[in-house]
Structure 1
Amino acid sequence: LEHHRKIGSEEDPDLHRYQRYPVSAVSLKRKAVRDIMGKTTWNYFRIVFNANKILYLDNANKTRFSLRQLVKRFHAPITVNLILLTGLAALGMPLLYLLWVVSYFSFYMFFSRIRNLAEHAAVPDLLNDDPLMNTRTTIPSWWERLTVAPNSVCYHLEHHLVPSVPKYRLAGFHRALIKRGVLDSADISIGYVQLVRKLIVAPT
Protein backbone atom coordinates (compact mmCIF):
# COMPACT_ATOMS: atom_id res chain seq x y z
CA LEU A 1 0.00 0.00 0.00
CA GLU A 2 1.10 3.55 -0.74
CA HIS A 3 0.60 4.57 2.88
CA HIS A 4 2.91 1.82 4.12
CA ARG A 5 5.61 2.66 1.63
CA LYS A 6 5.58 6.40 2.26
CA ILE A 7 4.69 6.71 5.94
CA GLY A 8 7.14 9.04 7.65
CA SER A 9 7.40 11.33 4.64
CA GLU A 10 5.49 14.20 3.09
CA GLU A 11 4.46 11.84 0.28
CA ASP A 12 2.24 9.78 2.59
CA PRO A 13 -1.23 9.97 0.94
CA ASP A 14 -2.90 9.93 4.37
CA LEU A 15 -0.73 12.66 5.88
CA HIS A 16 -3.48 15.28 5.68
CA ARG A 17 -5.60 13.26 8.10
CA TYR A 18 -3.32 13.64 11.09
CA GLN A 19 -0.49 16.10 10.43
CA ARG A 20 -2.26 19.03 12.13
CA TYR A 21 -2.59 17.28 15.47
CA PRO A 22 -2.61 18.03 18.33
CA VAL A 23 -5.53 20.44 18.01
CA SER A 24 -7.61 22.43 20.46
CA ALA A 25 -10.30 20.72 22.50
CA VAL A 26 -12.90 22.88 20.76
CA SER A 27 -11.72 21.69 17.34
CA LEU A 28 -11.82 18.02 18.33
CA LYS A 29 -15.27 18.41 19.89
CA ARG A 30 -16.53 20.06 16.71
CA LYS A 31 -15.30 17.11 14.65
CA ALA A 32 -16.90 14.66 17.08
CA VAL A 33 -20.25 16.44 16.81
CA ARG A 34 -20.08 16.29 13.00
CA ASP A 35 -19.42 12.56 13.21
CA ILE A 36 -22.19 11.77 15.67
CA MET A 37 -24.75 13.96 13.88
CA GLY A 38 -24.13 12.20 10.56
CA LYS A 39 -22.51 15.06 8.65
CA THR A 40 -19.24 13.16 8.21
CA THR A 41 -21.04 10.18 6.69
CA TRP A 42 -22.97 12.35 4.23
CA ASN A 43 -19.77 14.12 3.20
CA TYR A 44 -18.08 10.75 2.74
CA PHE A 45 -20.91 9.52 0.51
CA ARG A 46 -20.77 12.71 -1.54
CA ILE A 47 -17.03 12.35 -2.12
CA VAL A 48 -17.30 8.66 -2.98
CA PHE A 49 -20.27 9.19 -5.27
CA ASN A 50 -18.54 12.02 -7.12
CA ALA A 51 -15.28 10.10 -7.41
CA ASN A 52 -17.08 7.12 -8.90
CA LYS A 53 -19.31 9.20 -11.19
CA ILE A 54 -22.45 8.11 -9.38
CA LEU A 55 -23.39 11.77 -9.20
CA TYR A 56 -22.89 13.58 -12.49
CA LEU A 57 -24.01 16.66 -14.39
CA ASP A 58 -26.36 16.09 -17.31
CA ASN A 59 -26.58 18.22 -20.45
CA ALA A 60 -28.78 20.70 -18.61
CA ASN A 61 -26.09 21.05 -15.92
CA LYS A 62 -28.29 19.34 -13.35
CA THR A 63 -26.96 16.79 -10.87
CA ARG A 64 -28.14 13.27 -11.67
CA PHE A 65 -27.85 9.97 -9.84
CA SER A 66 -26.64 6.89 -11.75
CA LEU A 67 -28.08 3.68 -10.30
CA ARG A 68 -26.11 1.67 -12.86
CA GLN A 69 -22.80 3.12 -11.69
CA LEU A 70 -23.74 2.55 -8.05
CA VAL A 71 -24.43 -1.14 -8.61
CA LYS A 72 -21.36 -1.54 -10.80
CA ARG A 73 -18.94 0.08 -8.37
CA PHE A 74 -20.38 -1.17 -5.09
CA HIS A 75 -21.90 -4.55 -5.89
CA ALA A 76 -19.99 -6.23 -3.02
CA PRO A 77 -21.18 -4.02 -0.11
CA ILE A 78 -24.65 -3.80 -1.66
CA THR A 79 -24.82 -7.59 -1.77
CA VAL A 80 -23.61 -7.94 1.82
CA ASN A 81 -26.20 -5.45 3.07
CA LEU A 82 -28.98 -7.15 1.13
CA ILE A 83 -27.99 -10.49 2.64
CA LEU A 84 -27.97 -8.93 6.11
CA LEU A 85 -31.38 -7.34 5.62
CA THR A 86 -32.83 -10.52 4.09
CA GLY A 87 -31.48 -12.65 6.91
CA LEU A 88 -32.93 -10.39 9.57
CA ALA A 89 -36.24 -10.28 7.74
CA ALA A 90 -36.29 -14.07 7.59
CA LEU A 91 -35.84 -14.10 11.37
CA GLY A 92 -38.73 -11.69 11.75
CA MET A 93 -36.49 -8.77 12.77
CA PRO A 94 -36.06 -6.56 9.68
CA LEU A 95 -36.06 -3.36 11.75
CA LEU A 96 -32.89 -4.54 13.46
CA TYR A 97 -31.08 -3.61 10.24
CA LEU A 98 -31.69 0.02 11.14
CA LEU A 99 -29.30 -0.41 14.06
CA TRP A 100 -26.45 -0.71 11.56
CA VAL A 101 -27.69 2.27 9.54
CA VAL A 102 -28.04 4.51 12.60
CA SER A 103 -24.63 3.51 13.93
CA TYR A 104 -22.99 4.17 10.55
CA PHE A 105 -24.40 7.68 10.55
CA SER A 106 -23.27 8.38 14.10
CA PHE A 107 -20.84 6.63 16.41
CA TYR A 108 -19.25 4.42 13.77
CA MET A 109 -17.63 7.47 12.17
CA PHE A 110 -16.67 8.90 15.54
CA PHE A 111 -14.99 5.67 16.63
CA SER A 112 -13.28 5.40 13.24
CA ARG A 113 -11.90 8.91 13.57
CA ILE A 114 -10.44 8.24 17.02
CA ARG A 115 -9.00 4.90 15.91
CA ASN A 116 -7.40 6.41 12.81
CA LEU A 117 -5.95 9.34 14.74
CA ALA A 118 -4.55 6.96 17.33
CA GLU A 119 -2.38 5.37 14.67
CA HIS A 120 -0.33 8.39 13.55
CA ALA A 121 -1.59 11.69 15.01
CA ALA A 122 0.55 13.53 17.57
CA VAL A 123 3.29 10.88 17.45
CA PRO A 124 6.90 11.67 18.46
CA ASP A 125 8.04 12.42 14.89
CA LEU A 126 5.54 12.07 12.07
CA LEU A 127 8.12 12.74 9.35
CA ASN A 128 10.65 10.22 10.64
CA ASP A 129 10.87 7.01 8.61
CA ASP A 130 11.28 4.94 11.78
CA PRO A 131 7.92 3.28 12.64
CA LEU A 132 8.77 3.63 16.34
CA MET A 133 8.63 7.39 15.82
CA ASN A 134 5.76 7.80 13.33
CA THR A 135 3.28 5.13 14.44
CA ARG A 136 1.49 4.34 17.69
CA THR A 137 -0.09 1.33 19.35
CA THR A 138 -2.96 1.85 21.79
CA ILE A 139 -3.84 -0.83 24.33
CA PRO A 140 -7.63 -0.71 24.71
CA SER A 141 -9.81 -1.50 27.69
CA TRP A 142 -12.49 -4.16 27.34
CA TRP A 143 -15.20 -1.68 26.37
CA GLU A 144 -12.89 0.01 23.85
CA ARG A 145 -12.37 -3.36 22.18
CA LEU A 146 -16.12 -3.51 21.68
CA THR A 147 -16.37 -0.02 20.20
CA VAL A 148 -13.23 1.76 19.01
CA ALA A 149 -10.78 -1.05 18.39
CA PRO A 150 -12.19 -4.48 17.50
CA ASN A 151 -10.19 -7.25 15.82
CA SER A 152 -6.79 -6.14 17.15
CA VAL A 153 -6.67 -3.01 14.96
CA CYS A 154 -5.13 -1.23 17.95
CA TYR A 155 -1.75 -2.86 17.27
CA HIS A 156 -0.92 -0.51 14.44
CA LEU A 157 2.78 -0.12 15.18
CA GLU A 158 3.23 -3.88 15.07
CA HIS A 159 1.30 -3.94 11.80
CA HIS A 160 3.68 -1.40 10.28
CA LEU A 161 6.75 -3.24 11.54
CA VAL A 162 5.67 -6.53 9.93
CA PRO A 163 2.54 -6.09 7.76
CA SER A 164 2.37 -9.81 6.99
CA VAL A 165 1.44 -10.71 10.58
CA PRO A 166 -2.29 -11.59 10.59
CA LYS A 167 -4.53 -9.56 12.86
CA TYR A 168 -5.29 -12.48 15.16
CA ARG A 169 -1.56 -12.81 15.94
CA LEU A 170 -0.81 -9.13 16.52
CA ALA A 171 -1.43 -9.28 20.28
CA GLY A 172 1.06 -12.12 20.64
CA PHE A 173 3.51 -10.33 18.37
CA HIS A 174 3.16 -7.23 20.56
CA ARG A 175 3.96 -9.24 23.70
CA ALA A 176 7.00 -10.79 22.02
CA LEU A 177 8.33 -7.37 21.01
CA ILE A 178 7.78 -6.03 24.53
CA LYS A 179 9.65 -8.99 26.00
CA ARG A 180 12.61 -8.37 23.70
CA GLY A 181 12.69 -4.65 24.43
CA VAL A 182 11.96 -3.66 20.84
CA LEU A 183 9.18 -1.31 21.92
CA ASP A 184 11.01 0.35 24.81
CA SER A 185 11.10 3.68 22.98
CA ALA A 186 7.77 3.27 21.19
CA ASP A 187 4.72 5.49 21.66
CA ILE A 188 2.23 3.18 23.36
CA SER A 189 -0.94 4.61 24.88
CA ILE A 190 -2.89 2.78 27.54
CA GLY A 191 -6.48 3.25 26.49
CA TYR A 192 -8.10 5.60 24.02
CA VAL A 193 -9.05 8.08 26.72
CA GLN A 194 -5.34 8.67 27.35
CA LEU A 195 -4.83 8.84 23.61
CA VAL A 196 -7.44 11.59 23.17
CA ARG A 197 -5.54 13.70 25.70
CA LYS A 198 -2.50 13.50 23.42
CA LEU A 199 -4.58 14.80 20.52
CA ILE A 200 -5.50 17.99 22.37
CA VAL A 201 -3.24 20.99 22.75
CA ALA A 202 -2.69 21.79 26.41
CA PRO A 203 -4.25 25.17 27.32
CA THR A 204 -1.74 27.94 27.93
Structure 2
Amino acid sequence: MSAAPRIAPSTLFTPEEWAPFQTRPAWAGPLLVVHCWGVIAFAVVAGVLVPWLIPICVMIIGTRQLGLAILMHEAAHGGLSKTAKWNDFLGHWLCAVPIGADLGAYRPYHLTHHRFAQQPEDPDLMLSAPFPVSPASLRRKMIRDLTGQTFFKQRILLPLAMASDKSRSNSSKGDSAHEYEAVVTGRSILPFLAVNALILAGFVAAGVWWAFFALWLLPMATWFPMVTRLRNIAEHACVEGSSADAFRAARTTRASWWERVFIAPYWVNFHAEHHLFMHVPCWKLPALHRAVHARPQAAVMEVAPGYVSVLKTATRRPR
Protein backbone atom coordinates (compact mmCIF):
# COMPACT_ATOMS: atom_id res chain seq x y z
CA MET A 1 0.00 0.00 0.00
CA SER A 2 1.24 3.51 -0.87
CA ALA A 3 0.54 6.08 1.82
CA ALA A 4 -0.28 9.66 0.89
CA PRO A 5 2.68 12.07 0.78
CA ARG A 6 3.27 14.00 4.00
CA ILE A 7 5.18 17.06 5.15
CA ALA A 8 6.33 17.97 8.64
CA PRO A 9 5.43 21.36 10.18
CA SER A 10 9.16 22.12 10.26
CA THR A 11 9.06 22.21 6.44
CA LEU A 12 7.23 25.53 6.68
CA PHE A 13 7.47 26.84 10.22
CA THR A 14 9.92 27.40 13.03
CA PRO A 15 8.93 25.88 16.40
CA GLU A 16 7.86 29.34 17.59
CA GLU A 17 5.70 29.91 14.51
CA TRP A 18 4.11 26.47 14.84
CA ALA A 19 3.40 26.63 18.58
CA PRO A 20 0.10 28.62 18.32
CA PHE A 21 -1.39 25.93 16.06
CA GLN A 22 -0.75 23.21 18.63
CA THR A 23 -2.74 24.77 21.47
CA ARG A 24 -6.49 24.63 21.97
CA PRO A 25 -8.53 26.07 24.84
CA ALA A 26 -10.78 23.58 26.61
CA TRP A 27 -13.90 25.64 25.94
CA ALA A 28 -13.55 26.06 22.16
CA GLY A 29 -14.86 22.66 20.99
CA PRO A 30 -17.88 22.52 23.34
CA LEU A 31 -18.69 26.13 22.42
CA LEU A 32 -18.87 25.19 18.74
CA VAL A 33 -21.34 22.39 19.55
CA VAL A 34 -23.45 24.83 21.59
CA HIS A 35 -23.25 27.36 18.76
CA CYS A 36 -24.40 24.80 16.18
CA TRP A 37 -27.44 23.75 18.21
CA GLY A 38 -28.13 27.39 19.07
CA VAL A 39 -28.31 28.34 15.38
CA ILE A 40 -30.62 25.39 14.75
CA ALA A 41 -32.86 26.42 17.66
CA PHE A 42 -32.94 30.05 16.51
CA ALA A 43 -33.90 29.03 12.96
CA VAL A 44 -36.62 26.70 14.29
CA VAL A 45 -38.11 29.50 16.41
CA ALA A 46 -37.92 31.90 13.47
CA GLY A 47 -39.72 29.41 11.22
CA VAL A 48 -42.43 28.77 13.80
CA LEU A 49 -43.06 32.46 14.48
CA VAL A 50 -42.72 33.64 10.88
CA PRO A 51 -43.84 30.78 8.60
CA TRP A 52 -42.88 32.54 5.38
CA LEU A 53 -39.24 32.25 6.55
CA ILE A 54 -39.43 28.44 6.55
CA PRO A 55 -37.63 27.97 3.18
CA ILE A 56 -34.67 30.04 4.42
CA CYS A 57 -34.78 28.29 7.80
CA VAL A 58 -34.69 24.90 6.07
CA MET A 59 -31.47 25.90 4.31
CA ILE A 60 -29.90 27.28 7.50
CA ILE A 61 -30.86 24.20 9.54
CA GLY A 62 -29.72 21.80 6.82
CA THR A 63 -26.36 23.58 6.72
CA ARG A 64 -26.05 23.31 10.52
CA GLN A 65 -26.89 19.62 10.29
CA LEU A 66 -23.85 19.47 8.04
CA GLY A 67 -22.19 21.51 10.79
CA LEU A 68 -22.92 18.67 13.22
CA ALA A 69 -21.23 16.29 10.76
CA ILE A 70 -18.24 18.64 10.56
CA LEU A 71 -17.98 18.75 14.34
CA MET A 72 -18.21 14.95 14.40
CA HIS A 73 -15.27 15.05 11.99
CA GLU A 74 -13.47 17.34 14.42
CA ALA A 75 -14.12 14.83 17.19
CA ALA A 76 -12.73 12.05 14.99
CA HIS A 77 -9.43 13.96 15.18
CA GLY A 78 -9.81 14.48 18.93
CA GLY A 79 -10.47 18.19 18.43
CA LEU A 80 -13.58 18.87 20.51
CA SER A 81 -11.94 18.31 23.90
CA LYS A 82 -8.58 17.45 25.41
CA THR A 83 -10.39 14.76 27.41
CA ALA A 84 -10.95 11.74 25.19
CA LYS A 85 -14.20 10.64 26.84
CA TRP A 86 -15.71 14.13 26.69
CA ASN A 87 -14.53 14.56 23.09
CA ASP A 88 -16.19 11.29 22.09
CA PHE A 89 -19.39 12.03 24.03
CA LEU A 90 -19.79 15.41 22.34
CA GLY A 91 -18.85 14.07 18.92
CA HIS A 92 -21.04 10.98 19.09
CA TRP A 93 -24.20 11.85 21.04
CA LEU A 94 -24.54 15.58 20.30
CA CYS A 95 -23.14 15.64 16.75
CA ALA A 96 -23.21 12.22 15.06
CA VAL A 97 -26.28 10.39 16.39
CA PRO A 98 -28.86 13.17 15.78
CA ILE A 99 -28.03 13.09 12.06
CA GLY A 100 -27.76 9.31 11.87
CA ALA A 101 -23.97 8.89 12.02
CA ASP A 102 -21.65 6.94 14.32
CA LEU A 103 -18.37 8.42 15.56
CA GLY A 104 -16.91 5.02 16.43
CA ALA A 105 -17.44 3.77 12.89
CA TYR A 106 -16.51 7.05 11.21
CA ARG A 107 -13.15 7.61 12.95
CA PRO A 108 -11.17 4.61 11.58
CA TYR A 109 -12.77 5.07 8.18
CA HIS A 110 -11.83 8.75 8.06
CA LEU A 111 -8.29 8.27 9.35
CA THR A 112 -7.79 5.68 6.61
CA HIS A 113 -8.82 8.40 4.16
CA HIS A 114 -6.09 10.67 5.55
CA ARG A 115 -3.48 7.94 5.49
CA PHE A 116 -4.17 7.02 1.87
CA ALA A 117 -5.65 10.28 0.51
CA GLN A 118 -6.26 9.96 -3.23
CA GLN A 119 -4.40 6.63 -3.36
CA PRO A 120 -6.16 3.45 -4.56
CA GLU A 121 -6.69 2.46 -0.90
CA ASP A 122 -8.49 5.72 -0.05
CA PRO A 123 -12.09 4.76 0.92
CA ASP A 124 -13.26 8.24 -0.16
CA LEU A 125 -11.72 8.00 -3.63
CA MET A 126 -15.07 7.08 -5.15
CA LEU A 127 -16.42 10.50 -4.11
CA SER A 128 -13.95 12.38 -6.30
CA ALA A 129 -12.94 9.85 -8.98
CA PRO A 130 -16.06 10.24 -11.18
CA PHE A 131 -15.47 13.97 -11.72
CA PRO A 132 -15.67 15.88 -13.93
CA VAL A 133 -19.20 14.94 -14.88
CA SER A 134 -21.63 16.56 -17.25
CA PRO A 135 -23.79 19.44 -15.99
CA ALA A 136 -26.84 17.23 -16.56
CA SER A 137 -25.38 14.49 -14.38
CA LEU A 138 -24.69 16.91 -11.54
CA ARG A 139 -28.18 18.37 -11.84
CA ARG A 140 -29.68 14.89 -11.53
CA LYS A 141 -27.64 14.23 -8.39
CA MET A 142 -28.68 17.51 -6.82
CA ILE A 143 -32.33 16.94 -7.73
CA ARG A 144 -32.17 13.55 -6.01
CA ASP A 145 -30.77 15.30 -2.94
CA LEU A 146 -33.32 18.09 -2.85
CA THR A 147 -36.30 15.79 -3.47
CA GLY A 148 -35.42 13.45 -0.62
CA GLN A 149 -34.35 10.50 -2.77
CA THR A 150 -30.82 10.45 -1.32
CA PHE A 151 -32.23 10.61 2.21
CA PHE A 152 -34.62 7.73 1.49
CA LYS A 153 -31.79 5.62 0.13
CA GLN A 154 -29.53 6.30 3.12
CA ARG A 155 -32.08 6.15 5.91
CA ILE A 156 -34.49 3.48 4.61
CA LEU A 157 -33.00 1.35 1.83
CA LEU A 158 -29.46 1.15 3.20
CA PRO A 159 -30.44 0.02 6.74
CA LEU A 160 -32.77 -2.57 5.20
CA ALA A 161 -29.98 -3.79 2.93
CA MET A 162 -27.56 -3.94 5.86
CA ALA A 163 -30.07 -5.91 7.92
CA SER A 164 -30.51 -8.32 5.03
CA ASP A 165 -26.73 -8.68 4.68
CA LYS A 166 -26.38 -9.44 8.38
CA SER A 167 -29.09 -12.05 8.19
CA ARG A 168 -27.09 -13.83 5.49
CA SER A 169 -23.61 -13.31 6.92
CA ASN A 170 -22.32 -11.50 9.97
CA SER A 171 -19.14 -10.63 8.09
CA SER A 172 -20.80 -9.13 5.04
CA LYS A 173 -19.68 -5.57 4.35
CA GLY A 174 -21.16 -4.82 0.94
CA ASP A 175 -19.60 -2.64 -1.73
CA SER A 176 -17.55 0.48 -1.13
CA ALA A 177 -20.45 2.85 -1.77
CA HIS A 178 -22.54 1.11 0.84
CA GLU A 179 -19.59 1.11 3.23
CA TYR A 180 -19.20 4.90 2.89
CA GLU A 181 -22.89 5.58 3.40
CA ALA A 182 -23.00 3.14 6.29
CA VAL A 183 -20.33 4.88 8.32
CA VAL A 184 -21.78 8.30 7.58
CA THR A 185 -25.50 7.75 7.86
CA GLY A 186 -26.58 4.15 8.04
CA ARG A 187 -24.93 2.32 10.87
CA SER A 188 -26.53 3.96 13.90
CA ILE A 189 -30.18 3.64 12.93
CA LEU A 190 -31.50 2.68 16.38
CA PRO A 191 -29.72 5.51 18.28
CA PHE A 192 -30.74 7.85 15.46
CA LEU A 193 -34.40 6.89 15.85
CA ALA A 194 -34.23 7.12 19.66
CA VAL A 195 -32.65 10.58 19.71
CA ASN A 196 -35.00 11.85 17.03
CA ALA A 197 -37.95 10.51 19.03
CA LEU A 198 -36.73 12.67 21.92
CA ILE A 199 -36.44 15.66 19.59
CA LEU A 200 -40.00 15.01 18.35
CA ALA A 201 -41.20 14.78 21.96
CA GLY A 202 -39.67 18.20 22.59
CA PHE A 203 -41.56 19.69 19.66
CA VAL A 204 -44.78 18.05 20.83
CA ALA A 205 -44.28 19.36 24.37
CA ALA A 206 -43.80 22.86 22.91
CA GLY A 207 -47.10 22.50 21.02
CA VAL A 208 -45.50 22.68 17.57
CA TRP A 209 -45.28 19.01 16.56
CA TRP A 210 -45.43 19.95 12.87
CA ALA A 211 -42.14 21.89 13.19
CA PHE A 212 -40.25 18.62 13.75
CA PHE A 213 -41.18 17.58 10.21
CA ALA A 214 -40.91 21.01 8.59
CA LEU A 215 -37.86 22.36 10.43
CA TRP A 216 -35.81 19.31 11.38
CA LEU A 217 -36.69 16.32 9.21
CA LEU A 218 -37.25 18.28 5.98
CA PRO A 219 -33.82 19.99 6.12
CA MET A 220 -32.22 16.62 6.86
CA ALA A 221 -33.98 15.05 3.88
CA THR A 222 -33.22 17.83 1.38
CA TRP A 223 -30.68 20.57 2.02
CA PHE A 224 -28.31 18.53 4.20
CA PRO A 225 -27.65 15.85 1.52
CA MET A 226 -27.19 18.52 -1.13
CA VAL A 227 -24.62 20.62 0.79
CA THR A 228 -22.88 17.41 1.87
CA ARG A 229 -22.47 16.60 -1.82
CA LEU A 230 -21.10 20.10 -2.50
CA ARG A 231 -18.65 19.65 0.36
CA ASN A 232 -17.44 16.31 -1.03
CA ILE A 233 -17.00 17.74 -4.52
CA ALA A 234 -15.15 20.82 -3.32
CA GLU A 235 -12.71 18.92 -1.14
CA HIS A 236 -11.06 16.57 -3.65
CA ALA A 237 -12.72 16.49 -7.08
CA CYS A 238 -10.61 17.53 -10.07
CA VAL A 239 -7.43 18.36 -8.14
CA GLU A 240 -4.60 17.27 -10.43
CA GLY A 241 -1.55 15.75 -8.78
CA SER A 242 -3.37 15.15 -5.51
CA SER A 243 -1.97 11.65 -5.07
CA ALA A 244 1.66 12.73 -5.43
CA ASP A 245 2.03 16.13 -3.78
CA ALA A 246 1.06 16.87 -0.16
CA PHE A 247 0.36 20.48 -1.10
CA ARG A 248 -2.22 19.32 -3.64
CA ALA A 249 -3.95 16.64 -1.58
CA ALA A 250 -7.15 18.68 -1.40
CA ARG A 251 -8.79 21.96 -2.38
CA THR A 252 -9.43 25.03 -0.28
CA THR A 253 -12.43 27.14 -1.28
CA ARG A 254 -12.63 30.80 -0.33
CA ALA A 255 -16.18 30.92 1.00
CA SER A 256 -18.10 34.19 1.10
CA TRP A 257 -20.30 35.03 4.09
CA TRP A 258 -23.43 33.64 2.41
CA GLU A 259 -21.60 30.42 1.49
CA ARG A 260 -20.56 30.02 5.12
CA VAL A 261 -24.21 30.45 6.15
CA PHE A 262 -25.80 28.20 3.55
CA ILE A 263 -23.07 25.75 2.40
CA ALA A 264 -19.82 25.60 4.39
CA PRO A 265 -19.94 26.17 8.17
CA TYR A 266 -17.15 25.80 10.70
CA TRP A 267 -14.25 26.44 8.31
CA VAL A 268 -14.81 23.20 6.38
CA ASN A 269 -13.76 25.05 3.23
CA PHE A 270 -10.08 25.07 4.35
CA HIS A 271 -9.60 21.46 3.37
CA ALA A 272 -6.15 21.71 1.80
CA GLU A 273 -4.75 23.05 5.08
CA HIS A 274 -6.59 20.33 7.00
CA HIS A 275 -4.89 17.64 4.92
CA LEU A 276 -1.49 19.25 5.39
CA PHE A 277 -1.82 19.30 9.18
CA MET A 278 -4.88 17.33 10.21
CA HIS A 279 -4.53 17.89 13.97
CA VAL A 280 -4.88 21.67 13.77
CA PRO A 281 -8.35 22.49 15.17
CA CYS A 282 -10.89 23.73 12.66
CA TRP A 283 -11.21 27.22 14.16
CA LYS A 284 -7.48 27.80 13.54
CA LEU A 285 -7.61 26.85 9.87
CA PRO A 286 -8.10 30.44 8.59
CA ALA A 287 -4.91 31.51 10.43
CA LEU A 288 -3.14 28.41 9.16
CA HIS A 289 -4.27 29.26 5.62
CA ARG A 290 -2.71 32.71 5.90
CA ALA A 291 0.48 31.34 7.42
CA VAL A 292 0.90 28.60 4.81
CA HIS A 293 0.21 30.96 1.92
CA ALA A 294 2.92 33.30 3.13
CA ARG A 295 5.38 30.56 2.08
CA PRO A 296 6.42 29.99 -1.55
CA GLN A 297 5.57 26.27 -1.33
CA ALA A 298 1.88 27.19 -1.17
CA ALA A 299 1.90 28.50 -4.74
CA VAL A 300 0.97 25.04 -6.04
CA MET A 301 -2.01 24.57 -3.71
CA GLU A 302 -5.49 24.34 -5.21
CA VAL A 303 -7.56 27.32 -4.08
CA ALA A 304 -10.97 28.08 -5.59
CA PRO A 305 -12.58 31.54 -5.35
CA GLY A 306 -15.98 30.08 -4.38
CA TYR A 307 -18.34 27.13 -4.68
CA VAL A 308 -19.73 28.28 -8.03
CA SER A 309 -16.20 28.08 -9.40
CA VAL A 310 -15.82 24.57 -7.95
CA LEU A 311 -19.00 23.40 -9.67
CA LYS A 312 -17.83 24.83 -12.97
CA THR A 313 -14.59 22.87 -12.62
CA ALA A 314 -16.47 19.70 -11.62
CA THR A 315 -18.66 19.88 -14.73
CA ARG A 316 -15.96 20.94 -17.19
CA ARG A 317 -15.29 18.48 -19.97
CA PRO A 318 -11.65 17.32 -20.02
CA ARG A 319 -9.72 18.61 -23.03
TM-score (norm 2): 0.54
Identify the match of residue 250 of structure 2 among 135, 141, 144.
135
Matches of 2:235 and 2:283, distance apart in 1: 18
Q: Any unmatched runs of 5+ in structure 1?
A: 58-71
Matches of 1:8 and 1:203, distance apart in 2: 19
Q: Secondary structure at the match of 1:137?
A: strand
Aligned to 2:127: 17
The 1:159–1:203 alpha-carbon spacing in structure 2 relative to 1, beyond 3 Å, is closer
Matched, 1:168 2:283: yes
Using the TM superposition, give the Cα deviation of residue 162 of structure 1 relative to its aligned residue in structure 2, in angstroms: 1.0
Matches of 2:191 and 2:281, distance apart in 1: 23
Identify the match of residue 186 of structure 1 among 293, 298, 301.
301
Using the TM superposition, give the Cα deviation of residue 112 of structure 1 relative to its aligned residue in structure 2, in angstroms: 0.7
Using the TM superposition, give the Cα deviation of residue 148 of structure 1 relative to its aligned residue in structure 2, in angstroms: 1.4
Preserved contact between residue 132 and residue 237 of structure 2 (Cα < 8 Å):
yes
The 1:139–1:43 alpha-carbon spacing in structure 2 relative to 1, beyond 3 Å, is same
Letter in 2 for 1:11: E
Aligned to 1:109: 225
The 1:125–1:180 alpha-carbon spacing in structure 2 relative to 1, beyond 3 Å, is closer
Bigger strand share: 1
Matched, 1:47 2:162: no
Preserved contact between residue 132 and residue 157 of structure 1 (Cα < 8 Å):
yes
Matched, 1:89 2:204: yes
Using the TM superposition, give the Cα deviation of residue 9 of structure 1 relative to its aligned residue in structure 2, in angstroms: 1.0
Count of residues in correspondence between the two structures? 189
Aligned to 1:125: 241
TM-score (norm 1): 0.82
1:64-79 → structure 2 map (5 Å cutoff) = 73-79=188-194
Matches of 2:305 and 2:280, distance apart in 1: 22
The 1:191–1:39 alpha-carbon spacing in structure 2 relative to 1, beyond 3 Å, is same
Matches of 2:118 and 2:290, distance apart in 1: 25
Aligned to 2:27: none
Using the TM superposition, give the Cα deviation of residue 55 of structure 1 relative to its aligned residue in structure 2, in angstroms: 8.5
Deviation by residue 1:39-82 (Cα, 9 ceiling, x = unmatched) = 1111222224423559968xxxxxxxxxxxxxx94454334323
Q: CA RMSD in A?
A: 2.4
Preserved contact between residue 21 and residue 199 of structure 1 (Cα < 8 Å):
yes
The 1:83–1:178 alpha-carbon spacing in structure 2 relative to 1, beyond 3 Å, is farther
Letter in 2 for 1:117: I
Matches of 1:111 and 1:73, distance apart in 2: 21
Matches of 2:264 and 2:307, distance apart in 1: 9
Deviation by residue 1:94-113 (Cα, 9 ceiling, x = unmatched) = 32222221112212111110
Percent identical: 34
Deviation by residue 1:155-203 (Cα, 9 ceiling, x = unmatched) = 1111111111111111121122122344221101111011111101249
Identify the match of residue 80 of structure 1 among 184, 191, 195.
195
Letter in 2 for 1:30: R
Using the TM superposition, give the Cα deviation of residue 91 of structure 1 relative to its aligned residue in structure 2, in angstroms: 3.1
Q: Secondary structure at the match of 1:188?
A: strand
Matched, 1:150 2:261: no
Matches of 1:80 and 1:186, distance apart in 2: 41
Q: Secondary structure at the match of 1:89?
A: helix
Letter in 1 for 2:158: I
Using the TM superposition, give the Cα deviation of residue 119 of structure 1 relative to its aligned residue in structure 2, in angstroms: 0.4
Aligned to 2:314: 199
Bigger helix share: 2
Preserved contact between residue 249 and residue 275 of structure 2 (Cα < 8 Å):
no
Matches of 2:147 and 2:247, distance apart in 1: 35
Matches of 1:73 and 1:26, distance apart in 2: 33
